[in-house]
Structure 1
Amino acid sequence: MNRSQQLLSSLGLAGFTSALIAQSVCAANIAQVTAVRVNPTPEGIEVVLETEGGRALQVFTTSFGDTVQADVISAQLRLAGGNQFRRDNPAAGIAAVTVTPLDTNSIRIKVIGQGGLPVARVEQGGGGAILSLKPATGTAQTPAPPGVTQPPVQPGVQPPTVQPGVPVDSLPTLPPTAQPGVPVEPGVQPPVAQPGVPVEPGVQPPTAQPPTAQPGRPTQPTAQPGVTPQPGADRIEIVVTATRIEENVTNVPRSITVIDTEEIEEQVGPSRNIGEALANQVPGFAPPTQTTTTYGQTLRGRDVSVLIDGVPQTTNIQSFGREFRTIDPSAIERIEVVRGSTAIYGSQATGGVINIITRRPTEDSLTSTVELGASTSLTNTEDGQGFNGKYGISGREGNFDFTGSVSLASSGAFYDAQGDRIPYFELGGDSSRILNILGKIGVDLDDQQRLQLSFNRYLETQNPDVIPDFSVDDEEGTQKARAIKTGNLNIIGGQTPGNRNTLFNLSYTNDNLFGSSLQSQIYYRRNSNIGVPSDYRSSDFFGPFVGVANSRTRTEQLGGRLAITTPLSSDEKVRLVWGADYVNEDSEQNFDLYDPNEFDATGGRVYRKIAERPFVPAYNYNSLGLFGQLEWNIDEIVILSGGIRHERIGLRVDDYTTFNERNIQGGERNFDATVFNLGAVYKLDENFSVFSNFSQGFSVPDFARILRQPPDDFVGIESSLNITQPQKVNNYEIGIRGGWSTVQMSLAAFYNTSDLGISFQPVGNTGRLELIRAPERIYGLEATVDWQPEKTWSIGGTATYLEGEYEDEDGKYIGIDSSRIPPVKLTAYLENQTTPEWSNRLQLLYSGNRDRAFEDGSDGGPISSYVTLDYISTIQVGNGLLQLKVENLLNNEYFPVLSQYLAGFGADSSNYAARGLTFSVNYRLDW
């Protein structure tokens, strides 16, 4: 079968399967809701939906801020007094209840709390559904908002009867996508709970795809740069990453992208690589490299700090860069990305912060999730199959809650568009198996205090059956990397290649500590990365010293974070966030050496360990940061913020001998950095705002790269001042955000500088990296647009332009290499809600040409453009969700930017092609 036939077959299979299942689930009749009642209960109120003929209703709940939201699917409002219902102040602690049509065949209930989020529980009534609500603790005596008279409630006295569908006051009825004082953020899908699962303040329910998702449904202001609206949902998002407190994204003077569970599941490919999902969704983030390392995936041309629930995954030693290989995507609730230099979480975030937030417990009931999936290459099916499975459980009993999940994924061999095996397996994630265990146990000590212990264990092992063909490095012209089939590698005496991560995180929160709120955590993390053995004998730099070898890295961290939010005004419009962070980190990297004779005799299949050699000496890195951040919300129109952070950093290493037998004097070095930030948001109206900010970030060099291959004039830690100095980055940014009923857009421009840049550049095909410390400047534009021309259609995309330069010894600005500064990146999508239960999406990614760095001598060759196209079909089947995905739909043969960059320096054995046509299927069931 040729490639065109394979393409048609895959499209036919996906389309036919989608249509067949969709037809089977569209036969249900639509329920008619004929009455809405709000009744008092001993704990609060209940919202009763009565249906014609006593039909049961399906209800999905979620929460944000002080609002509980419930969507009723396959239902229409048919009220006697009009198809909108509103009740203000039905009970103490409840500001308003509205029931409105969401679209043609679904209904939305919104309940706004006063002074906190109400606890909600869905009950199936005999003739419809009941949403029971309990006001947040401590809000029983909360006064009504100014200008609104709250009727007194006498014990045992029934309030006045309300006619179904007739509003009780003369206030104008709000549309279903807007509520007083609650800004709605397009582009971010709130987590959705299963029917019957209550919503507790501060705890988001587990995510589940609502069957009523409709592309093109109008969303409410304001759009965030790079956040593509998930079809069929109003958007509001509370983020913690940008300011370290819960904050609506519309109030933050920065560019922020939030990716929810459904978007992660759509974008993650067979390699289970989070970096690929981010590249498809986040402006400013480099195009996918299709490797497991973060090398080559910068954010706005600089380093990014990766966190899991606030715990740093980015360490000082970056030899492997496996921050995204520390957790499986199935354990993630959402990802918050702050774009641009920041020091809010400490060093290494000169390009931004990526905070991965794990699944959270549900409330008052036991819920389970089962997920099964499979994938295969369609260009070559030989051992190219992979699978993934997950079981999750969550629940609450009294003041105790828990959540846990176990996932197992296995990836097969990866093949390019020509059906050739991709040999870059050490960084590609193929032929690997991933086991991830996530567990959380929490207890509410009282209404204001909570203690939680979480555990994450990630174990990835790799067992490839090919080795790279290094002979392509000696051939004329540019060659595609080739693989040599060997059978599964037999490693004797050494460790199995892969990534291992163990994390314990103990957190304590107190919502009222002498009038302030406190968030604190103590964490321990141990991480190791073991490379696939390789033959370095042809390397001029490594060969004479290591021969056939692999390297392994170990890092151990112990740290803590403290953040206290103190109101400085009675209305809490002026707040101060202050606190401290500390981390102590021990790292080292070694070579395992293998018998070259046995390697040659077995055709590269058997690796027998014969010795060890230090590559990076054991060293200690520690830092202590003190910070303060002030925010002033002026009349909900102008929001000002600013802050300062002071960091003290220590480095300690003993005397050591490098792997190429140079003696280096150890010692201790201490650094410090003080950085500032200042920002403002101005809301021109409810749909449009502008923001600007100045923010400083800082980072220290990867000391491991310096220690393992020090320059010729490097004699010791204490005497080499310039090479180890921290880098401070000044970032300037302005932006606009607009969100209307059918259009959302954003535009941001940024410019950042550093007097002492940090850049590592390859020295030919030697394996050696040269450190460049020179002034740098990076600038660019980011834009997004999303348009819903009608209820069932949605179209949009993002654009990123980036350029970077460093100053050479002659004062001339030279283009920074393409491992840091990627070409122009464009993304686009077209989505259609074909039926209420079936949606289809086409998405495109374009990576442009770049020759600026090649012309200036920073790149070994120019970077060429390429285009990829993916198809995703999502179908609601019963209580579960089926997803079909075809990657590289056009089966385009292309080379990622990182591959082209490495090939430019003569390393054709690293000139790997990207994955060809690939099909995957995934089914998730929640109950």
Structure 2
Amino acid sequence: MLKTSLTLVALAISSQSFADDAINKKLTAEEMEHVVVSGSRVFESIDEVPASVTIISQKQIEEHLKVNPELQSLLAQMVPGLAPDTGSSSNTGQSLRGRAPLVMIDGVPQSTPLRNGSLGVKTLDPSAIARIEVIKGATSVYGNGASGGIINYITKQATSDGQPEGEISLSSRFSAVKLEESAGARISAAINGRADKVSYLFTASYEENGVQRDAEGDILGLQYGLSDAVTENYFTKLGYDFDDEKQLQFSYNYFSSQQKTDLGDVVGNLNDGEKTYAIHVPKELQKKGKPQGPDGNENITLKYTDYALFTNTQMTLDLYMQDIENVFFFSTNLANPDEGYEGGQSIIRSEKKGARATFNTLVDFDNVEATFIYGLDALNDVTSQPLVDGRVWVPEMDMESLAGFLQTKWVINNDLVIKAGVRQESIDLTVDDYETLKLCRSETQCSVPLSVKGDTIDYDATTYNVGVKYNLLEAFSPFANYSQGSDISDIGRLLRAATVNDIGLIQTEASIIDNYEIGFTSQFDDLRFEFAAYRSTSEFGTTNSFNEVTGVYEPVRAPQEIWGYETLVDYKINPTLKLVATYSYVEGKNTEDDIYLGSRQISPPKGTANLNWQPNDELSLTVSYLYVGSRKRFEPNTDGDYVGDQGPISSYNLFNLSGRYNFSDNWQAFMGVENLFNNDYYPARAQSYTYGGYNIKGLGTTVTLGATYSF
């Protein structure tokens, strides 16, 4: 059995390893858009990556921030293969190629894969992010939880060479349909500088939302809602340069986003076509329990980098700690009348202590450039899901893992790229004896509590990846890859719904995901075209099945196959006008029963377009378009109702507008309009999820106005 001390003493590298400092020092902003670090854990040209990669630049982040400050909305608009925005604080149903992505900040996991509460995307304010890298397809590069790929937020660095530099931004967001109570306020500030060998960066943001209104002017329902939400983010990064080759860096992130409201829901029914919306109600009818959302989540990272440890060898070591407490809404489905509980409210608690060491050795032969990336990862993850009232829904899971890896890249004659790697991971997961909760949907529909014997479960997995890319012609650069991911995510959901009395009898086997992908890129002067098709299989997928006797959704583990394709067109129409358009399609089945997977995993077809007009340095305007297609794979039950995540999805279209004007070198005004034509619609998740309270309409026309001062 692994010991926690291994986690504390092992050495580590975060995702950006050598890239964050090296990129800022050596590459221009335009060159940065062609560099990726998350896939191999060292920075490399995107043209040498035989896989689908999406890079969201700081400029794109800032443009979208003018329309909507939520990262979910940004990612849905910019990333082919990522499901549409949910319009809420939860990213449940927002899968990446039909599987769960691992969300990270500078390589530190923000997701809680042992009990996936789907709140990992909203963990950092966009104003602290320099770029976002999305690597698609199952991978084991960062360990457990990346069955769908990686979403890595690369934070900003100090860029000033001396005197302090910074900016302050003020803005307000409000409904254009009905202004009453909808106006919110946001302030963000940043400062960075350098004093001799010390660099520093501080960012802070604070936002209070007003109520959010749909196209009819009604307040959106409160389940995972953003009305009256208060969001705070404080981020700092301090660096010390021992010399040109050795650096020490410390970073700290604090994030809180909670809904503090005096509203109450009027709950509708999806099957009857009734929306859920919120109104002012007496205190006894307001949302019960604690405010929902992340309650002061913290990350601490200490990183040491030596760019010349040996000849042609770089090294980065880092230690990280994380404390997460995500509070969920009060639910009557967590009731137990026999013990006096009318419902309950759960909290996902997760504490991580991790350490990684990565070495990067470059060897240059006559016509071959070889890169060897190797090292060790160690992690201790303690996760549980208690209820606020003291009941234990998911017992404490104590995971200790140790992994070694080797990743190689061979560039032959500057045009043929071959990558291959292996990762060996050993995991111990310990759960003490526990008893499942008695939960009641009604006085006659209750689950039966069960005493379960705890144990330590050992997982050992060896995963491989290999890829090839041929860059001989700019007009056609094909690639193909095969990658595996080892996934023991959401063990907590299996434990809380246990139907056997011994943890060793629960189907907690790790799932090995096999991911296959082919594609190509083509560059013709001002036109770039990308295409990728993929297929992924897993022997143990996890879906839900509703037990009508107990009223509980029980996990079902069965083999799955998911397939799809994505396209992207990037066209510089003229020196002032640029268009980026994407289309993605994904589908999947439970291959054991030959039935389609629900919308928790599979999203409808999605198309996006972003047209940017910048006639000069002072003015910029962007029109963005989102198309969500229909998906109707399921039939209603004998009562004529849809169940679970199987509701039919009808297509919808949305347009946004944003712009900014620089009055001087220091002052900038900006505006954004979300849902420009006030389309009255239900987001895809709201159409497909039949669970109570999810049938919430999308935002009506919403306006953002603000100004930024730089110094």
Give the alignment's TM-score, normalised by structure 2: 0.89
| Aligned with 1:681 (options 448, 465, 469) | 469
Which has more radius of gyration?
1
Cα gap change, 1:726 to 1:872, in 2 (>3 Å): same
Structure 2 residue 470 is matched with structure 1 residue 707: no
Residue 206 of structure 1: how far off its partner (Å): 13
Structure 2 residue 662 is matched with structure 1 residue 876: yes
Residue 482 of structure 1: how far off its partner (Å): 2.9
Contact 2:675 2:702 in 1 (8 A): yes
Contact 1:271 1:411 in 2 (8 A): no
Q: Deviations over 1:837-892 (max 9, x none)?
A: 21222111111111124489875431111111111112222123322111001101
Q: Secondary structure at the match of 1:685?
A: coil
Contact 2:375 2:405 in 1 (8 A): yes
Aligned-partner Cα distance in 2 for 1:674–1:541? 43
Q: Secondary structure at the match of 2:230?
A: strand
Q: Which amino acid aligns with 1:703?
A: I
Q: Which amino acid aligns with 2:481?
A: N
Aligned-partner Cα distance in 2 for 1:636–1:261? 30
| Aligned with 1:533 (options 330, 345, 350) | 330
2:503 counterpart residue number: 717
Question: What does residue range 453-472 of structure 1 map to in structure 2 within 5 Å?
Answer: 453-470=250-267, 472=268
| Aligned with 1:897 (options 684, 691, 698) | 684
Residue 766 of structure 1: how far off its partner (Å): 7.8
Report the aligned-residue RMSD. Answer: 2.8
| Aligned with 2:343 (options 548, 554, 565) | 548
Residue 202 of structure 1: how far off its partner (Å): 4.4
Question: What does residue range 61-460 of structure 1 map to in structure 2 within 5 Å?
Answer: 201-203=22-24, 236-268=33-65, 272-365=69-162, 366-423=164-221, 425-460=222-257
| Aligned with 1:867 (options 618, 629, 653) | 653
Contact 1:684 1:690 in 2 (8 A): no
Q: Secondary structure at the match of 2:479?
A: strand
Q: Secondary structure at the match of 2:94?
A: coil
1:498 counterpart residue number: 293
Q: Deviations over 1:779-802 (max 9, x none)?
A: 111001122232222233100011
Contact 1:688 1:736 in 2 (8 A): yes
Contact 1:567 1:574 in 2 (8 A): yes
Residue 590 of structure 1: how far off its partner (Å): 1.9
Q: Which amino acid aligns with 2:79?
A: V
1:510 counterpart residue number: 306
Cα gap change, 1:246 to 1:774, in 2 (>3 Å): same
* Identity across matched positions, percent: 32
Q: Which amino acid aligns with 1:658?
A: T
Residue 299 of structure 1: how far off its partner (Å): 0.3
Q: Secondary structure at the match of 1:280?
A: helix
Structure 2 residue 563 is matched with structure 1 residue 779: yes
Aligned-partner Cα distance in 1 for 2:78–2:597? 24
Q: Secondary structure at the match of 1:382?
A: coil
Q: Secondary structure at the match of 2:495?
A: helix
Q: Deviations over 1:719-754 (max 9, x none)?
A: 33xx10011111111111122322111111111111
Aligned-partner Cα distance in 2 for 1:431–1:526? 25
Aligned-partner Cα distance in 2 for 1:817–1:284? 16
2:603 counterpart residue number: 822
Q: Secondary structure at the match of 2:494?
A: helix
Cα gap change, 1:815 to 1:492, in 2 (>3 Å): closer
Q: Which amino acid aligns with 1:482?
A: Y
Aligned-partner Cα distance in 1 for 2:475–2:519? 14
| Aligned with 2:629 (options 848, 872, 883) | 848
Aligned-partner Cα distance in 2 for 1:492–1:851? 33
Structure 2 residue 347 is matched with structure 1 residue 561: no
| Aligned with 1:662 (options 441, 446, 450) | 450
Q: Deviations over 1:307-326 (max 9, x none)?
A: 10111111234353211222
Aligned-partner Cα distance in 2 for 1:765–1:304? 33
1:628 counterpart residue number: 406
Residue 247 of structure 1: how far off its partner (Å): 0.3
2:695 counterpart residue number: 911
Cα gap change, 1:747 to 1:804, in 2 (>3 Å): same
Aligned-partner Cα distance in 2 for 1:300–1:669? 29
Q: Secondary structure at the match of 1:294?
A: coil
Cα gap change, 1:579 to 1:491, in 2 (>3 Å): farther
Contact 1:464 1:488 in 2 (8 A): no
Q: Which runs of 5+ in 2 are unaligned?
A: 1-17, 439-448, 638-642
Residue 489 of structure 1: how far off its partner (Å): 8.3
Q: Deviations over 1:236-276 (max 9, x none)?
A: 42221011111010111011111122212322477732111
Contact 1:501 1:526 in 2 (8 A): yes
Contact 2:115 2:489 in 1 (8 A): no
Aligned-partner Cα distance in 2 for 1:257–1:910? 30
Q: Secondary structure at the match of 1:342?
A: coil
Q: Secondary structure at the match of 2:425?
A: strand
**425-434 or 252-261: bigger deviation:** 425-434
Aligned-partner Cα distance in 2 for 1:876–1:206? 26
Aligned-partner Cα distance in 1 for 2:644–2:597? 6
Q: Secondary structure at the match of 1:724?
A: coil
Structure 2 residue 521 is matched with structure 1 residue 740: no
Contact 2:370 2:410 in 1 (8 A): yes
1:479 counterpart residue number: 274
Contact 2:416 2:472 in 1 (8 A): no
Q: Secondary structure at the match of 2:89?
A: coil
Residue 205 of structure 1: how far off its partner (Å): 10
Q: Which amino acid aligns with 2:568?
A: T
Cα gap change, 1:281 to 1:270, in 2 (>3 Å): closer
2:486 counterpart residue number: 698
Aligned-partner Cα distance in 2 for 1:730–1:858? 27
Q: Secondary structure at the match of 2:344?
A: strand
Residue 527 of structure 1: how far off its partner (Å): 0.7
Aligned-partner Cα distance in 1 for 2:424–2:618? 52
Contact 1:838 1:876 in 2 (8 A): yes
Q: Which amino acid aligns with 1:734?
A: I
Structure 2 residue 592 is matched with structure 1 residue 805: no
Q: Which amino acid aligns with 1:276?
A: S
Q: Which runs of 5+ in 1 are unaligned?
A: 1-115, 118-190, 192-199, 209-232, 594-611
Q: Deviations over 1:172-218 (max 9, x none)?
A: xxxxxxxxxxxxxxxxxxx9xxxxxxxx854369999xxxxxxxxxx
Aligned-partner Cα distance in 2 for 1:629–1:731? 17
Contact 1:814 1:853 in 2 (8 A): no
Structure 2 residue 572 is matched with structure 1 residue 788: yes
Aligned-partner Cα distance in 2 for 1:847–1:543? 42
Greater relative contact order (CA < 8 Å, ≥ 6 in sequence): 2
Aligned-partner Cα distance in 2 for 1:201–1:719? 50
Q: Secondary structure at the match of 1:565?
A: strand
2:14 counterpart residue number: none
Residue 464 of structure 1: how far off its partner (Å): 1.6
Contact 1:701 1:758 in 2 (8 A): no
Aligned-partner Cα distance in 1 for 2:205–2:427? 38
| Aligned with 2:429 (options 627, 651, 672) | 651
Structure 2 residue 540 is matched with structure 1 residue 759: no
Cα gap change, 1:447 to 1:790, in 2 (>3 Å): closer
Aligned-partner Cα distance in 1 for 2:287–2:653? 43
2:383 counterpart residue number: 587
Q: Which amino acid aligns with 1:561?
A: R
Q: Which amino acid aligns with 2:374?
A: W
Aligned-partner Cα distance in 2 for 1:821–1:686? 34
